[in-house]
Chain A
Amino acid sequence: METAAIQTHGLTRRFGALTAVDDVTLSVAPGQFFGFLGPNGAGKSTTIKMLTGLLEPSAGTIEILGQPFSAGALELKRQIGVVPEGMALMGRLTAPEYLRFVGRMYGLDKATTNQRTDELLEFMHLADESRKLVTDFSHGMQKKLALAAAVIHGPKVLFLDEPFEGVDAIAAGMLKSMLQGMINRGATIFLTTHVLEIVERLCSHVAIISQGRLVANGSLEALRAGVQSTLPGAEQEQRLTLEEIFLSIVGAGGVQESAQELSWLA
């Protein structure tokens, strides 16, 4: 049996009385482009923080590439790249300075770091801004830089928390092709995003979390088939979009009614 790239067992995180992530068990195979979806506050970012060592789980275990993962698993951290929620940028450095810093922190030698820095800046169309401080970058430029920093050491597993948020359509297309290229070369990508169209186009497997619990997990086709089987008669024949699958699983509970209640809005 092939070793999973990412494996969790009973992953749980509590904040006082609130259980943000509740007994999540999932497995991501090597080379998979895995979409992790959920409504706001469902526990996506908390899960990704635990998977990357930014947050201690209250219970449960994590394995990355078949090895137990914890904050102290330094060798394993060399194998993963992360674009976290806060992007982990350093505002008082320029983009080349930041990438070189990250490269050295991941143990790359000077020549490799410099070469990859130049290549990444060119690829991300940031080379023109080599004198500008990161703090003066637009949000989209910061996202691109964060993604460049996440891949500079050539990780085998990449965790992306909302990587397309604030990125323009041109850059998003470029990033998608880059990520697809990584998948083709055998990397595993764990992605959270609210843009379901991106997940539908890129991801082969999807998990949905709601109120901290995993409510769906499998290939996109399996999820589609599962939801369609619950629909009445003729509706089973139509091909459901991911949005429809998502709303069906998570539930659009009272969305329309709530909007109508705000009668003072135009």
Chain B
Amino acid sequence: MVGIDGAGINGAGAIAADGGMFGAQARAQYAALARLRWEMFSHGLRSRKGALELGARTVSFVFYAIGGLALGVGAGLAAFALTAGNQWRFLPILFWAVFFVWQVVPIMLASFQEQFDLGILLRFPVRFGSYYLLYVVFGLLDVSTILGGLCCAGILVGITLARPALFASTALGLIIFAAFNILLVRSIFAWIDRWLAQRKTREILGAVFMVLILSLQLLNPALHKHRNQGNSAPLGRNATKEQAQQKIQEYQRNKADFQARYGPWLGTVNEVQQWLPPGLAAKALQQRVQRQRDPASGSALQSGPLQSLGLLGLYVLGAGGVLAARLRAEYRGESLGVAPSRKKVAASRAKSARREGAGLLDGPGPIAAVMEKELRTLLRTLPLLYAIGAPLLLVLVFSGAFIRNGPQAHIFPLALPLCIVYAQLGFTRLFYNNLGAEGMGIQLYFLSPTPMRTVLLAKNLFHSVLFGLTILVAGTLAILRLGEPDGVVVAATVAWLLFSLPANLAAGNIFSLTMPYRVNPGRITRQGGSQANALGALLAQLVAMGLGAAVFGLCWYLDKMWLAVPIFLVLAAGAIVVWMRGLSNADAMANKRRDSLIAALIEKGSG
């Protein structure tokens, strides 16, 4: 029998297949992959778009580098202060903060980060170990890992400067902690992608995600309301000494009350967190310091750091195992694109067909058709729902900074507009890449007799309605959380939105036609992405926000906040004119770029 051995696969010129994930064949494959990435990069520079992407990446890199270095320096300073001041009990807070950055930053950046889908490697004779290793190594290039790594480096430097003797044990603990974070973040997204790949789990996950956002939004006002009971208004500039003393007493009374009420609960939380990875990493250091202080202590104390690090190591193995389970399924050729089959008898088929026949928006013509299609697509494209929902989740976190310990007005009166501005960020992808989810369907817009301006108009109308509803929800929840804002501030915020919305839509239409990128509807990670689009969108939004901030600031300074309303309305009129003019030019712009537009949404995403 003539086998593949005789066909030249293992004949002259073939590299030996044994040797594991670091064998000759595996190394040759890594080199080939590195070369592929380099060639893709260099070929990308041939086009103007590619050069623009490189420029945007450079700017993003500088931006992230500054942010990362700031975080690293901050973590280092905190670590130094805690170590020098012997405040070891607060060390877990630092590790939990790093953990939070490491795991939450990907949520914020998943929309914009370009990721290489390693699934293309599965057609080649790549060992599972190599596939796993590459998946993890590519994760090292994630922004979150770089930021987390800088934080860890900062902590190491901070602790070492304060106590050089702790260098080795700190470095060991941080390395294990970093390994855990790297594997965990890769596992989370690998599993999320797995769940999103099937319709049923996608729908369940979507529903859970939305319920989570809403319940957290509703839960926190209740908690804060409870916490804020009994607090009075802050002192004014002209407060007397007696008032200040009263305030201090009141603070101490509240603190004691808080400790009495929540102390046991916080104690339990502290007990639990010690057994979780960030707590274990901190605990190992605490135990190490304690052992240095008291070298004559018993064997239990001496083995403490090792036990903690051992447990942390088990977490690393656990996270690695969870990732391996997912990647193993992918490696075996699991087909994620197949929806659960539905067996239907003829009667139920007819019924189903009738149900399917009922349109969501039964209005005539292409505008209603596009709006209905957008609604259906949005509900089935979790990355887009996720992009809208994630900022709302973070509004919840950041709005805590504006809560005052009193039942009346805010500490900062512009907290509401700031929360709404942040919630608006969730629409970046919808506004600035409004054709991204079309995929092959983009061709239909050029084939059909419906002009592109009608398509964009319908999309803009749909997104405006969605935007209005989201802002309404965000605003209502922010008011529930922060209390009632000043009526003039609300009016000015609404006027600013009337300016910001058409301005973003106008800029978004241009970006969508000139710098589109494909949105993979089945994945949150491994998106094509476009740094140029993301950066441009960010700049355009910053301009709109900057104008808003300037007007708000000026009117606040002049103590004439009402003046912001007519100013924003004038700006809104201008933005609407620009948006309409942009729409009227949409066909010429789309036709001029249709080749690159279609290529960007089909060919790039086909890989």
Are A266 and B7 in contact (CB-based, < 8 A)? yes
Are A93 and B376 in contact (CB-based, < 8 A)? yes
* Residue ID in chain B nearest A104 by CB atoms: B369
Instruction: Point out the residues of chain B lying under 8 angstroms from A131, CB to CB.
Output: 342, 344, 352, 356
Minimum CB–CB distance from B372 to chain A (whole Å) comes to: 7
On whether A86 and B443 interact (CB within 8 A), knowing A131-B342, A132-B342, A133-B339, the answer reads yes
Bound-state CA distance A80–B441 (Å) is 17
A130 at interface by CB-CB < 8 Å: yes
Binds B, one of A105-113, A179-187, A226-234: A105-113
Q: Which of A90, A94, A105 contacts B366 (CB 8 A)?
A: A105
Bound-state CA distance A102–B602 (Å) is 19
Instruction: Point out the residues of chain B lying under 8 angstroms from A149, CB to CB.
Output: 444
* Chain B residues with a Cβ closer than 8 Å to the other chain, count: 54
Q: Which of A104, A114, A132 contacts B339 (CB 8 A)?
A: A132
Are B594 and A71 in contact (CB-based, < 8 A)? yes
Are B437 and A102 in contact (CB-based, < 8 A)? no
Which of A92, A97, A114: most chain B CB closer than 10 A?
A: A92
On whether A88 and B441 interact (CB within 8 A), knowing A53-B447, A55-B594, the answer reads yes
On whether A74 and B339 interact (CB within 8 A), knowing A54-B446, A97-B356, the answer reads no
Are A72 and B449 in contact (CB-based, < 8 A)? no
Instruction: Point out the residues of chain B lying under 8 angstroms from A128, CB to CB.
Output: 344, 349
A84 at interface by CB-CB < 8 Å: yes
* Residue ID in chain B nearest A82 by CB atoms: B447
Instruction: Point out the residues of chain A lying under 8 angstroms from B591, CB to CB.
Output: 56, 71-72
Are B364 and A136 in contact (CB-based, < 8 A)? no
On whether A96 and B357 interact (CB within 8 A), knowing A55-B595, A78-B449, A264-B8, the answer reads yes
Bound-state CA distance A132–B368 (Å) is 23
Instruction: Point out the residues of chain A lying under 8 angstroms from B372, CB to CB.
Output: 101
Minimum CB–CB distance from B478 to chain A (whole Å) comes to: 32
Instruction: Point out the residues of chain A lying under 8 angstroms from B370, CB to CB.
Output: 105
* Residue ID in chain A nearest B358 by CB atoms: A114
Q: Which of A78, A92, A96 contacts B356 (CB 8 A)?
A: A96
Minimum CB–CB distance from A148 to chain B (whole Å) comes to: 13
Bound-state CA distance A94–B353 (Å) is 11
Bound-state CA distance A62–B338 (Å) is 42
Instruction: Point out the residues of chain B lying under 8 angstroms from A104, CB to CB.
Output: 364-366, 368-369
From 32 to 80 in chain A, residues with beta carbon under 8 angstroms from any chain B beta carbon are 52-56, 71-72, 74-75, 77-78, 80
* Residue ID in chain B nearest A81 by CB atoms: B447
On whether A87 and B440 interact (CB within 8 A), knowing A56-B591, A131-B352, A266-B7, the answer reads yes
Bound-state CA distance A97–B449 (Å) is 19
Bound-state CA distance A75–B450 (Å) is 9
* Residue ID in chain A nearest B338 by CB atoms: A136
B381 at interface by CB-CB < 8 Å: yes
Instruction: Point out the residues of chain B lying under 8 angstroms from A105, CB to CB.
Output: 366, 369-370, 444-445, 448-450
Instruction: Point out the residues of chain A lying under 8 angstroms from B338, CB to CB.
Output: 136
Are B199 and A101 in contact (CB-based, < 8 A)? no
Are B439 and A91 in contact (CB-based, < 8 A)? yes
Are B381 and A92 in contact (CB-based, < 8 A)? yes
Minimum CB–CB distance from B442 to chain A (whole Å) comes to: 8
Minimum CB–CB distance from A223 to chain B (whole Å) comes to: 30
* Residue ID in chain B nearest A70 by CB atoms: B591
Bound-state CA distance A132–B343 (Å) is 11
A89 at interface by CB-CB < 8 Å: yes
Q: Which of A55, A92, A102, A265 contacts B444 (CB 8 A)?
A: A102
Are B449 and A266 in contact (CB-based, < 8 A)? no
Are A265 and B7 in contact (CB-based, < 8 A)? yes
Minimum CB–CB distance from B605 to chain A (whole Å) comes to: 11
From 347 to 379 in chain B, residues with beta carbon under 8 angstroms from any chain A beta carbon are 349, 352-353, 356-357, 359, 362, 364-366, 368-370, 372-373, 376-377
A118 at interface by CB-CB < 8 Å: yes
B272 at interface by CB-CB < 8 Å: no
On whether A86 and B602 interact (CB within 8 A), knowing A71-B594, A92-B381, A264-B7, the answer reads yes
Bound-state CA distance A82–B440 (Å) is 13
Bound-state CA distance A157–B560 (Å) is 65
- Residues of B participating in the A interface, judged by any CB pair closer than 8 Å: 2, 6-8, 11, 199, 337-339, 342, 344, 349, 352-353, 356-357, 359, 362, 364-366, 368-370, 372-373, 376-377, 380-381, 437-451, 521-522, 587, 591-592, 594-595, 598, 602
Jot down 25 A-B pairs with beta carbons below 8 A, ordered by A.
A53-B447, A54-B446, A54-B447, A55-B594, A71-B594, A77-B449, A80-B447, A84-B447, A88-B443, A90-B438, A90-B439, A91-B440, A92-B437, A96-B356, A97-B373, A97-B376, A100-B357, A102-B444, A104-B369, A107-B450, A114-B357, A128-B349, A130-B356, A133-B380, A265-B7
**Besides A80-B447, A90-B373, A131-B342, 10 other CB < 8 A contacts?**
A52-B447, A53-B447, A54-B594, A89-B441, A97-B356, A101-B372, A104-B364, A105-B450, A110-B359, A110-B364
